[in-house]
Chain A
Amino acid sequence: MVKYIGKRLVYMFLTMFLIATATFFLMQTLPGSPIASYNKLNETQRAIVEKKYGIDKPKPVQYAIYMKNLAKGDLGTSFVFKGKSVNDLLATRVKPSFILGAQAMVFGTIIGILLGMLAALKQNTIWDYGSTFFAILGVSIPSFVFASLLQYWVASQWHLLPVGLWNDGWKSSILPSIALAMGPLALSARFIRTEMIEVLSSDYITLAKAKGANGFEIAFKHAFRNALIPLVTVLGPVAAGIVTGSLVVEQIFAIPGIGEQFVSSIMTNDFATIMGTTLFFSALLIFIIFIVDLLYGIIDPRIRLSGGKG
């Protein structure tokens, strides 16, 4: 196990290095300059400003400086938020995105699993159709549509929760979390249903039934655990996507999150912030994939992480 984790950490480090390199050079192909007042400056002044921000140096030199700073954990200084380090920028903007993402994952997965189980256990009944319909809805309608509908009905019409902004404590996070949760909810409901139906018809369930196990034991102790494996595989990347991909929902609810910041940094050529956010997203995704792999071993002991002879 330790050996496996060690090896994985080396790979993770290598992956990050490759991502940083690729992003750095891809970013250089973006058109335009990070200097917002570019067309107001003459040649000399442009050169002076470029020198100040270090973008006058040859690309390989800039790359070397960037990697050196990165090794020290310094992501550089934002071009847009003058004098602010990208580390600070990420620190203040990650929190709202993380809260939304985590709530959406927990809410979406729990409700999704319950719906999926209900559908599998009560196959071909109104419960089954209802939950399937809900799942199709969740998969086919993008989260920003849910966001607009929730905002319109729940906030604007019924005045139950805030229309937007991030200043009403937990209340501010409920609607955007629900909007974001619809995707994972639908996904887990579909997976759990399919897997459970398959597991429920397998021999060992028949055996368990023969041994006198009750319905609850069969559903939770035997079937559910086996049905979880494919779900964990899919939910890993979904989790990363939710934390990082909530940009439209963040914009609709006017939440100062990281997703929205990422897009605006690309639009303004804020090189340091683009790099910082990309690396942050990549690290998050790689870490989640790693956790998912570790979880396999816990959910299903037959999967051995040491990669040994068995």
Chain B
Amino acid sequence: MKTNKWLLLVALSLVLSLVLAACGNKDKDEDKTAAPDKEDEKATEQPTEEAGEPDAEQVVNLIESAAIPSVDSAIVEDAVGFNVLNNVNEGLYRLNLENIAEPAMAAEEAEVSEDGLTYTFKLRDAKWSDGTPVTAHDFVFAWQRAIDPATGSPYGPFMMSGVIKNATAISEEKMEKSELGVVAEDDKTLVVTLERPVPYFLSLMSFGTFYPQKEEFVTSKGDAYATNSDNLLYNGPFVLTEWDGTGDSWVYKKNEHYWDAENVKLETINVDVVKDSATAVKLYNDGKKDRAGVSGDLALQYGTHEEAVNESDTAVFYFKFNQERNGEKTPLANVNIRKALAKSFEKEDLADVVLANGSTAANFLVPRDFAYDESGTDFRDISGDHLVYNVEEAKEYWAKGLEELGVSELEFEILGGDTELSKKMNEYFKAQLEGNLEGLTIKLKEVPFAVRLELDGNQDYDIQVSGWGPDFQDPISFMDLFVTDGTNNLMSFSNKEYDELIEATKDELALDPAARYEAFAKAEKILLEDEAAIAPIYQRGLIQLQKPYFKGLGIHPFGADHSYKWAYISGKE
């Protein structure tokens, strides 16, 4: 009897494993049919915007990757919060579909003084969602609130210090907030005084931190302000509804009081937080969602899907070489060692095969498709490539470096993330670096993000896989990171010429765009080619599935991610 029982168990287990295996095969088969004969193609372009008549029903269903922590423009510090703000509120300027800042709450282009220090904005006739007019005082109040130390705004000081007059002193409690360089001359005229000429100032005006807030409303709500959709006031294309402050779903409804309401086609946007990429794709395939991001292995699987859109991102990832640890110089203080490491790994394979998520190899710090000169030339075409993969050169630098250090072998630790993708990438680095540089041993240290930040802060690492996404559209957003004692430097890199060039872009070159871009190009060459202070790895890409009937979505490479203002549904019915 006992034998019978076991036999039965084994038989049932076999049946089960066959069932499970069948599930797996089915999965694979379906993927094949989803992407017929497109093995070698990559979704590298957005679908062409064919102008179609908008459908009668304008409802779109979207996914966000996290809940909304806050919609108070003085407090927001995360991607989701800035995205919501960008669609329910509006600043003096707004990024259009071409990612150019154009007047929004401002009625026309700003009047700029000759020295580039004073900007005068004339406001248009616009209303808050309660029907009251948006005035210049609303901007003064919001900006003063964002820089006031009592507010504890993380982005206020970050965006305003060194830009708006007196912002730094106010944020350090050395001056009253009323002395901030922003004044309402009358209800419709706002005058902003800057600390120094800021060539990208108008692009900053589209950033969430600079949005207006109505003093009377904010004060009357007190601590409850912006804690749910009822405790907010809107002056953007949409109003937020059904947001309870912590929930994983919310709805945008068209704002009938918006000054440009006639050009807003979407009536309702339903948003749900979905953190699991596989679930997001299932909801998309099921028709429950009109757009879904795919990451990890799914990106590899869906990269060739006919509805896949490669959404270019402007975050750039690079190795940081720590030149000083525990008060002592590391072997990475040797420039030849840094150059050898920087040139000894294949970036194209990493981007295409290992990451396979739309990311591209980077031989630069300032990303592609991000900053342009006056004639519209991409900064990348001005500055060119640096630290291109070249094993032969890497080996030469390596030998020279070892000789200078008087050693025959070296061991470094690479500090990286602990996600599946990071681990795969770290393994790749280890194989490439150790394979190409004789006598090199790489140890991998894979830790959660918070731990990495702490180790970075204490400069307790050898090589770190680090990245940066810009908040505004100017090379300085990246270049400023590596000046001596820069907030993100934390690797004891210091080059006087580099510092001087960066300082010049903020000072005497601020009003000479062409010379300024040349200075950035020179500085980038020093940072990468001459010093190999950091080693660029890749520019991040994202793969999204998007229904062909969902059109006109604004995708921004900096600041808020998306604008729904011009989006619409066409051809779904």
Bound pair: A and B? Answer: yes
| A residues lining the B interface (CB < 8 Å) | 30-33, 35-42, 44-45, 48-49, 51-53, 80-84, 88-89, 92-93, 124, 129, 132-133, 136-137, 148-149, 151-153, 155-156, 159, 162-167, 251-256, 260, 264, 267-269
Q: Which of B158, B223, B245, B449 contacts A37 (CB 8 A)?
A: B158
Question: B232 to chain A: closest CB distance in Å?
Answer: 12
Question: B483 to chain A: closest CB distance in Å?
Answer: 13
A153 to B26, CA, bound (A): 11
Q: Which of B69, B152, B173 contacts A52 (CB 8 A)?
A: B152
A-B contact pairs, 27 of them (CB 8 A): A31-B450, A37-B77, A38-B453, A39-B456, A81-B67, A81-B70, A83-B225, A83-B226, A88-B246, A89-B246, A93-B246, A129-B12, A137-B16, A148-B278, A151-B279, A163-B283, A163-B288, A166-B249, A251-B279, A252-B276, A252-B279, A253-B279, A254-B273, A254-B274, A256-B273, A264-B66, A267-B449
Once the chains bind, are A83 and B77 in contact (CB under 8 Å)?
no
| Minimum CB distance partner of A157 in chain B | B26
Q: Which of A30, A92, A149 contacts B247 (CB 8 A)?
A: A92
| B157 proximal to A (CB < 8 A) | yes
Q: Which of A30, A41, A49, A166 contacts B450 (CB 8 A)?
A: A30
Contacts of B158 in A (CB 8 A): 37, 40-41, 45
| Minimum CB distance partner of A164 in chain B | B279
Contacts of A251 in B (CB 8 A): 275-276, 279
Q: A83-B225, A166-B248, A268-B450 are in contact. List 17 more A-B contacts (CB 8 A).
A: A30-B450, A31-B454, A39-B487, A41-B154, A41-B158, A45-B157, A45-B171, A80-B69, A81-B67, A82-B69, A83-B72, A84-B246, A156-B285, A164-B282, A251-B275, A252-B279, A256-B247
Contacts of A137 in B (CB 8 A): 16
Contacts of B448 in A (CB 8 A): 267
A83 to B171, CA, bound (A): 21
Once the chains bind, are B248 and A124 in contact (CB under 8 Å)?
no
Contact of A256 with B286 at beta-carbon distance under 8 Å, contacts A41-B158, A164-B274 already known:
no
Once the chains bind, are A53 and B279 in contact (CB under 8 Å)?
no
Q: Which of A41, A83, A155 contacts B70 (CB 8 A)?
A: A83
B 444-456 binary contact with A (CB < 8 Å = 1; else 0): 0000111101111
Contacts of B248 in A (CB 8 A): 166, 254-256
| B488 proximal to A (CB < 8 A) | yes
Q: Which of A53, A82, A260 contacts B275 (CB 8 A)?
A: A260
Contacts of B247 in A (CB 8 A): 92, 256
Contacts of A155 in B (CB 8 A): 282, 286
Once the chains bind, are A92 and B244 in contact (CB under 8 Å)?
yes
Q: Which of B225, B272, B453 contacts A39 (CB 8 A)?
A: B453
Contacts of B278 in A (CB 8 A): 148, 252
| B23 proximal to A (CB < 8 A) | yes
Question: A296 to chain B: closest CB distance in Å?
Answer: 34
Instruction: Report which residue of B5, B273, B279 has the largest number of chain A beta carbons within 10 angstroms of its beta carbon.
Output: B279
| B78 proximal to A (CB < 8 A) | yes
Contacts of B225 in A (CB 8 A): 83
Which B51-77 residues have a C-beta within 8 angstroms of A?
66-67, 69-70, 72, 75, 77
Contact of A129 with B152 at beta-carbon distance under 8 Å, contacts A30-B450, A92-B244, A166-B248 already known:
no
Contacts of B285 in A (CB 8 A): 156
B 18-61 binary contact with A (CB < 8 Å = 1; else 0): 00100100010000000000000000000000000000000000
Contacts of B173 in A (CB 8 A): 48
Contacts of B487 in A (CB 8 A): 39-42
| B553 proximal to A (CB < 8 A) | no
B 73-109 binary contact with A (CB < 8 Å = 1; else 0): 0010110000000000000000000000000000000
Contact of A92 with B450 at beta-carbon distance under 8 Å, contacts A35-B154, A37-B154, A48-B171 already known:
no
| B residues lining the A interface (CB < 8 Å) | 1, 5, 8-9, 12-13, 16, 20, 23, 27, 66-67, 69-70, 72, 75, 77-78, 149-150, 152, 154-155, 157-158, 161, 171-173, 223-227, 244-249, 272-276, 278-279, 282-283, 285-286, 288, 448-451, 453-457, 487-488
Question: B467 to chain A: closest CB distance in Å?
Answer: 11
Contact of A151 with B172 at beta-carbon distance under 8 Å, contacts A35-B154, A52-B152, A256-B247 already known:
no
Question: B159 to chain A: closest CB distance in Å?
Answer: 9
Question: A250 to chain B: closest CB distance in Å?
Answer: 9
Question: B558 to chain A: closest CB distance in Å?
Answer: 14
Contacts of A48 in B (CB 8 A): 149, 152, 171, 173
A35 to B286, CA, bound (A): 38
Once the chains bind, are A84 and B274 in contact (CB under 8 Å)?
no
A260 to B273, CA, bound (A): 12
Once the chains bind, are A163 and B279 in contact (CB under 8 Å)?
yes
Question: B276 to chain A: closest CB distance in Å?
Answer: 5
Contacts of A252 in B (CB 8 A): 276, 278-279
A260 to B13, CA, bound (A): 33
Once the chains bind, are B75 and A82 in contact (CB under 8 Å)?
yes
Q: Which of A30, A37, A129, A254 contacts B279 (CB 8 A)?
A: A254
Once the chains bind, are B453 and A165 in contact (CB under 8 Å)?
no
Contacts of A31 in B (CB 8 A): 450-451, 453-455
Contact of A267 with B450 at beta-carbon distance under 8 Å, contacts A40-B158, A164-B279 already known:
yes
Question: A16 to chain B: closest CB distance in Å?
Answer: 24
Question: B128 to chain A: closest CB distance in Å?
Answer: 20
Contacts of A166 in B (CB 8 A): 248-249
Name the 4 nearest CB pairs between A and B, nearest first: A32-B450, A52-B152, A256-B248, A82-B70
Contact of A133 with B9 at beta-carbon distance under 8 Å, contacts A81-B246, A93-B246, A163-B279 already known:
yes
Question: B62 to chain A: closest CB distance in Å?
Answer: 12
Once the chains bind, are B171 and A124 in contact (CB under 8 Å)?
no
Question: A202 to chain B: closest CB distance in Å?
Answer: 22
Contacts of B245 in A (CB 8 A): 81, 84, 88, 92
Contacts of A255 in B (CB 8 A): 248
Once the chains bind, are B453 and A32 in contact (CB under 8 Å)?
yes
Contacts of A51 in B (CB 8 A): 152
Contacts of A267 in B (CB 8 A): 448-450
Instruction: Report which residue of B20, B27, B276 has the largest number of chain A beta carbons within 10 angstroms of its beta carbon.
Output: B276
Once the chains bind, are A82 and B149 in contact (CB under 8 Å)?
no
Contacts of A83 in B (CB 8 A): 70, 72, 75, 223-227
Question: A130 to chain B: closest CB distance in Å?
Answer: 8
Once the chains bind, are B78 and A36 in contact (CB under 8 Å)?
yes
| Minimum CB distance partner of A45 in chain B | B157
Contacts of A264 in B (CB 8 A): 66
Contacts of A165 in B (CB 8 A): 249, 272, 274, 283, 288
